[in-house]
């Protein structure tokens, strides 16, 4: 129950949030019961009840710790075009969409179909018409691959070593791959790219020909340092013309956030 203690320590309105959870009507989608969780900024999220710990932890990182916005110039602004690569159920996507407003756009990329459907549902539940869903896994190539899904589905990954570190693969899923370059060429230029791809960060960057500040002026990348050293990501980004900074969240041992921007 560590997630409960973390939520209380961060100031998450746990009593009110869980009371609303208990009172809220469940929605049934494709045979799954979904709960509703209230978030700041007048937003709410739907997710399966079994995802409650992951959803609360992700909400803490996005709305309370603000790990993706430790540097103020990475907070989405009115009119920005933002890519959320590895969107899970859309918690960051709905925050970014609210911040960029109707003049901006968020492209949420999520490979697992059931998660992509939840992103779409959560965008609609918050009346956010500026969210576009891409049902694919951003990679270094086109094609198909096997995604490994550990006990905690937020950690779904292409990397066997990462899956082992997260408790092993409970299931395997076929997913479509789309190169990062294709995303940059189709959607860009982007004001901000948030990347959370569970161990494939370096492959994704090294496989891109076009990644540079002209196509994406800011990147914020979450990395598990026991799988991919943050220094390697920073070096690759600096080679492409970015200035980098590495942030180590106190509440997330073994994780780092790599920021990249044009100084």
DSSP per-residue string spanning 145-201: EEEEE-SSGGG-BS-HHHHHHTT--SEEEEEEEEEHHHHHHHH-SBSEEEE--TT-H
**Residue 66 clears pLDDT 80, i.e. is over it:** yes
Residue 18, pLDDT score: 52
Among 11-15, 40-44, 174-178, 196-200, the range scoring the smallest mean pLDDT is: 11-15
DSSP-assigned beta bridge partners for residue 155: none
Report the alpha-carbon distance of residue 59 to residue 262 in Å, rounded.
28
pTM to 2 decimal places? 0.88
Residue 151, pLDDT score: 84
Average of per-residue pLDDT values in the chain: 86
Q: What is the mean pLDDT of residues 233-240?
A: 94
**Residue 135 clears pLDDT 60, i.e. is over it:** yes
Q: Which of 117, 123, 73 is nearest to 97 (CA)?
A: 123
Model confidence pLDDT, tens digit, residues 3-60: 444 444 545 555 544 544 444 555 655 566 888 888 889 999 999 888 888 888 898 8
Residue 217, pLDDT score: 95
Among 17-31, 148-162, 185-199, 228-242, the range scoring the smallest mean pLDDT is: 17-31
Report the alpha-carbon distance of residue 123 to residue 91 in Å, rounded.
9
3-state secondary structure of 256: strand
Report the alpha-carbon distance of residue 239 to residue 9 in Å, rounded.
39
Q: Which residue has the higher pLDDT, 202 or 90?
A: 90
Domains contained in the chain, CATH given? 66-261 (3.40.50.150)
**Residue 65 clears pLDDT 80, i.e. is over it:** yes
Model confidence pLDDT, tens digit, residues 88-101: 999 999 999 999 99
Residue 4, pLDDT score: 46
Pair of tokens at residue 109: 């990329």
Q: Which of 224, 245, 253, 230 is nearest to 71 (CA)?
A: 245
């Amino acid at each position: 129950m560590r997630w409960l203690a973390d939520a209380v320590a961060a100031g998450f309105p746990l009593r009110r949030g869980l009371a609303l959870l208990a009172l809220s009507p469940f929605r049934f989608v494709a045979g799954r019961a979904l709960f509703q969780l209230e978030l700041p900024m007048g937003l709410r999220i739907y997710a399966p009840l079994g995802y409650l710990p992951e959803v609360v932890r992700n909400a803490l990182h996005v709305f309370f710790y603000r790990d993706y916005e430790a540097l103020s110039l990475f907070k989405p602004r009115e009119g920005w075009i933002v890519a959320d690569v590895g969107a899970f159920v859309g918690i960051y996507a709905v925050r970014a969409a609210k911040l960029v407003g109707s003049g901006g756009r968020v492209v949420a990329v999520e490979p697992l179909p059931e998660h992509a459907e939840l992103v779409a549902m959560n965008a609609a539940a918050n009346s956010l018409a500026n969210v576009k869903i891409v049902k694919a896994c951003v990679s270094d190539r086109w094609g198909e691959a096997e995604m490994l899904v550990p006990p905690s589905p937020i950690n779904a990954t292409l990397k066997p070593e990462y899956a082992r570190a997260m408790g092993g693969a409970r299931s395997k899923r076929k997913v479509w791959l789309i190169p990062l370059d294709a995303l940059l060429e189709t959607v860009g230029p982007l004001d901000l790219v948030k990347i959370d791809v569970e161990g494939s960060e370096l492959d994704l960057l090294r496989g891109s020909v076009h990644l540079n500040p002209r196509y994406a002026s800011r990147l914020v990348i979450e990395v598990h340092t026991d799988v991919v050293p943050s220094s390697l990501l920073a070096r690759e980004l600096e080679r492409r013309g970015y200035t980098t900074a590495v942030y180590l969240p106190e509440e997330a041992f073994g994780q780092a956030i790599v920021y990249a921007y044009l100084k």
